Amino acid sequence: MEMFDSYADFAKSKVPGDILWKVIARDGKSKTYTQVLPLDGGTVGIANFAVGGLASLYRQMDTQKYFGRSSQEMIDRYSSGCRPDGYSGNDTGWGCYSQEWWREGMERFVASPESESDQNQAWLDQMRPTVEIAIEHGWKDGRSLAIATGVANSIGGGGFKRLANQCGWRPEVVLEKYVGTNAHRKRREDAINAAFPR
């Protein structure tokens, strides 16, 4: 079993790619590199980049090429701002997705040759604080880090940290509490168990 003493070790391994494809995307059954959806005002790609998560994607991609705008402008105006107050689900009349220039730019990006590597790196960058704090608490194997990033991808890094604190930083307890009776979360647990068995 591969063990990681630092984020850098983890990032260089094949484990992040396995987590992203096998756990987060469930082998392409729940997410794909090419999706651009109205969900949350605009949701993109393999990690369902949305709202604040779009910032990490904008940092990786050539925003000038796809939107004619700087990375900083995209982060400032079209990340957290993609889901304005009053937004309630898949309504296409709201947010970034409703803006043709944004939607078409994202569709061009997800079809591009660099899209997959940009998305992988953006997700890895987004997960860095979660991976670092998990490793600090002794979560050093692929399964533990799949639990950490799988939970953080769903409820955010802050949500993961709160849950881990409540559970005494015990990976299996965190997974059990995260799943509860939620069917979507049960599928995430099944994917973790399949890709990273106990």
Q: Where are the domains of the chain?
A: 7-27+127-195, 36-110
In this predicted structure, what is the pLDDT of residue 143? 98
pLDDT at 90 exceeding the cut of 80: no
Is residue 186's pLDDT more than 60? yes
Report, as an integer, the average pLDDT of 32-49.
92
- Asked whether the predicted pLDDT for residue 87 surpasses 60, the reply is no
Q: Which helix (H) or strand (E) holds 12?
A: helix 7-12
84 CB-near residues (< 8 Å, 6+ apart): 41, 94, 95
Q: What is the pLDDT of residue 52?
A: 74
In this prediction, residue 178 has a pLDDT band, given cuts at 50, 70 and 90, of very high
Quote the pLDDT of residue 84: 62
Q: How far apart are CA 103 and CA 101, in angstroms?
A: 6
Using pLDDT thresholds of 50, 70 and 90, give the confidence band for residue 88. low
pLDDT at 102 over 60: yes
**Mean of the per-residue pLDDT values of the chain:** 92
Residue 129 has pLDDT above 90, yes or no: yes
Q: How confident is the model at residue 141 (pLDDT cuts 50, 70, 90)?
A: very high
pTM of the model: 0.88
Q: Which residue has the higher pLDDT, 90 or 164?
A: 164
- Give the tokens for residue 89: 């689900």
Task: State residue 89's pLDDT score.
Answer: 54
Residues in the chain: 198
Measure the CA–CA gap between 72 and 171, rounded to whole angstroms: 36
